[in-house]
Amino acid sequence: MEISVAKRLDGIGEYYFSQKLKQIDELNKTGAPVLNLGIGSPDLPPHPEVIRVLQEEAAKPGNHAYQSYKGAEALRKAVAQWYATWYGVELDPASEILPLIGSKEGILHICMTYLNEGDVALIPNPGYPTYRSAVQLAGGTCLPYELTAANNYFPDFEALEQTDLSQVKLMWVNYPQMPTGQLPQTEVFERLVQFGKKHNILICHDNPYSFILNDQPASMLSVDGAKEVVLELNSLSKSHNMAGWRVGFLLGAAERINEVLRFKSNMDSGMFLPLQLAAVKALSLDASWYQSVNEQYRQRRQKAYELLDLISCTYSTDQAGMFIWAQIPADYSDGFTVSDEILQTARVFITPGGIFGSAGNGFIRVSLCSPIEKLDAAINRIKEARKVPA
């Protein structure tokens, strides 16, 4: 019997990291385990009090039923307070906040809610690969816009204005930017809001990295009039070391939230209540939590610099987020070549920048989600493979 897959999967392969982990598993059977410095999954635990709340609430017999599609009121109120405290943004917890089972699902929810076949979405190049996949799965067409170091990895608005935008319905943006680590600027947020209003384009801002190695978290919703044209995604995956907990949020005008809810409520059910209540605790943590997390990342970042120097890469020291984006030496054709060489000779995996789009071909990305000891071991392996004197 021959059963074909849906056409919506045409051009969409298995997620790169899913494929690469299989290769790494095979290599692990043949010698020393590969040191994986690729994926941005926090290795540090959540705050102990967050874990305590989860344990206590999960032990209560009444907390295991289906939950509201809109999320618990306590969680929506906690998100509103978190945004007011840290981003200076006022949100109505009853109508402008939608909890998600991880913000990655929100990317697809937005695309499925707004894109018809023939609609176009602007996606950053380089950028998070899921933007492209979600647009295609929803039946839309991707229109990449290139981000360059020369323009500080911000959109080139002059070039965009010369583009046919007549079918563009969504624009995906992400600051602090992944994979480049570029921090946001208020004037760029303002221009994005103006651009969206001028061309009737919904600006979708993905904002999970704003607390990592960054002392000034920023939301695009802080711009006057932003709610008219902006939807923002956020999550606790990076900021609170809760990636596997799958706790995210969609934020924006009540009308937009209700539109996305029409789709989401047909795709999943409400989040497990003890997870929501633990998230409430996480959102109440004070500045000392973020300082402690960032101190760890600062120490690791210095080791990542040392590793990249061994490979003769160049990089900015002003990046935010849990990665370092680095330009490869001129004698390599692309980041895939560098990544494969380091993997085969030193059994260290570093992400090639080309998986984030063609504009990333000349780059690699190192994750900071590994302890100092692992980074030191990777450095030593690369030194040995390259015969660098101790």
How far is residue 238 CA from its own chain's centroid? 9
What does the alpha-carbon distance between residue 301 and residue 113 come to, in Å, rounded to a whole number? 39
Q: Which of helix, strand or coil describes residue 9?
A: helix
Amino acid 389: pLDDT: 65
Whether 146 is covered by a domain: the verdict is yes
Q: Per-residue pLDDT for 168 more than 90?
A: yes
Instruction: Tell me if 2 is assigned to some domain.
Output: no
81, pLDDT greater than 90: yes
Q: Rounded to an integer, what distance in angstroms lies between the CA atom of residue 243 and that of residue 251? A: 19
Whether residue 119 is predicted with pLDDT greater than 80 in this model: the reply is yes
Last residue of a domain, one of 283, 299, 322: 283
Could you give the count of Cα atoms lying within 13 Å of 39 in the half-sphere of its Cβ? Answer: 14
Mean pLDDT of 193-201: 98
Q: Are 21 and 61 part of one and the same domain?
A: no
Are 265 and 196 members of one domain? yes
pLDDT at position 387: 78
Asked which of 35-39, 162-166, 223-227 is least confident by mean pLDDT, the reply is 35-39
For residue 326, what pLDDT is reported? 97
Pairing of strands 348-349, 248-251: unpaired
Burial 33-66 (b: 16+ CB within 10 A, else e): ebbbbbebebeeebbeebeebbeebeeeeebeee
Residue 390 belongs to some domain of the structure:
no
CATH number for position 112: 3.40.640.10
Structural domain tally of the chain? 2
272 shares a domain with 306: no
Distance, C-alpha 352 to centroid of its chain:
17
Q: How confident is the model at residue 258 (pLDDT cuts 50, 70, 90)?
A: very high
Asked if the model's pLDDT at residue 268 lies above 70, the reply is: yes
What single string gives the DSSP state of each residue in 249-288? EEES-HHHHHHHHHHHTTT--PPPHHHHHHHHHHHT--HH
Distance of CA 19 to the CA centre of its chain: 19
* Average pLDDT of the segment spanning 366-376: 96
Whole-angstrom distance, CA of residue 135 vs CA of residue 239: 26
Assign residue 352 a region: left if phi > 0, alpha if psi is -120 to 50, beta otherwise?
beta
State the average pLDDT over residues 360-371.
96
- Domain endpoint, select from 229, 260, 283: 283
The pLDDT value given to residue 372: 97
pLDDT of residue 179: 96
The pLDDT of residue 175 is 97
Q: How far apart are the first and last CA of the chain?
A: 60
pLDDT of 10 higher than 90:
no
Containing structural domain, residue 231: 48-283
With respect to residue 331, please indicate whether it lies within any of the assigned structural domains.
yes
Percentage helix, strand, coil, to 5, in the chain?
Answer: 45, 15, 40
- Give the Cα separation of 250 and 273 in Å (integer): 18
Q: What pLDDT does residue 377 have?
A: 96
Average pLDDT, the chain: 94
266 & 297 share domain: no
386: phi then psi, degrees, rounded to nearest 5 = -100, 5
pLDDT band at 3 (very low <50, low <70, confident <90, very high): confident
268 plus 225 within the same structural domain: yes
Based on the number of CB atoms within 10 Å of its own CB, is 305 exposed (0-12), middle (13-18) or buried (19 or more)?
middle
Average of per-residue pLDDT across 184-207:
98
Whether 301 and 278 share a structural domain: no
| Residue 150 and residue 161 share a domain | yes
Within-domain flag for 64: yes
pLDDT at 390: 61
Question: Does 244 lie in the same domain as 180?
Answer: yes
List alpha helices for the chain, DSSP H.
16-28, 48-58, 73-87, 103-114, 129-137, 157-161, 186-199, 254-264, 273-283, 287-310, 335-346, 372-385
Residue 250 has φ and ψ, to the nearest 5°, of: -115, 135
Task: Report whether pLDDT(25) > 70.
Answer: yes
* 177 and 310 in a common domain: no
Which letter does DSSP use for residue 184 in this model?
P
Last residue of one domain, picked from the residues 283, 305, 340: 283
Query: Which helix (H) or strand (E) element contains residue 173?
Result: strand 168-173
- Kindly report whether the peptide bond that precedes residue 155 is cis, defined as omega within 30 degrees of 0: no
Burial (CB < 10 A; 0-12, 13-18, 19+), residue 341, is: middle
Is the model's pLDDT at 1 over the cut of 80?
Answer: no
* 360 domain residue, yes or no: yes
Return the half-sphere exposure (C-beta side, CA atoms, 13 A cut-off) of residue 257.
23
In this predicted model, what pLDDT tens digit does every residue of 308-341 receive, in sequence order? 999 999 999 999 999 999 999 999 999 999 999 9
Identity of the amino acid at 262: R
| Predicted confidence (pLDDT) at residue 27 exceeds the cutoff of 90 | no
Same domain, 164 and 114: yes
Residue 1 located in a structural domain: no
Residues 213 and 151 in one domain: yes
| Rg of the chain taking only CA atoms, in angstroms | 21
Provide the percentage of residues in the chain whose pLDDT is more than 70.
Answer: 98
For residues 203-215, average pLDDT: 97
Q: Are 184 and 218 in contact (CB under 8 A)?
A: yes
* Residue 176 φ/ψ region, left for φ over 0, alpha for ψ in the -120 to 50 degree band, beta for the rest: beta
Does residue 79 share a domain with residue 16? no
Within a domain: residue 165?
A: yes
Provide the CATH number for the domain around residue 316.
3.90.1150.10
Best-predicted range by mean pLDDT (28-32, 65-69, 208-212): 208-212
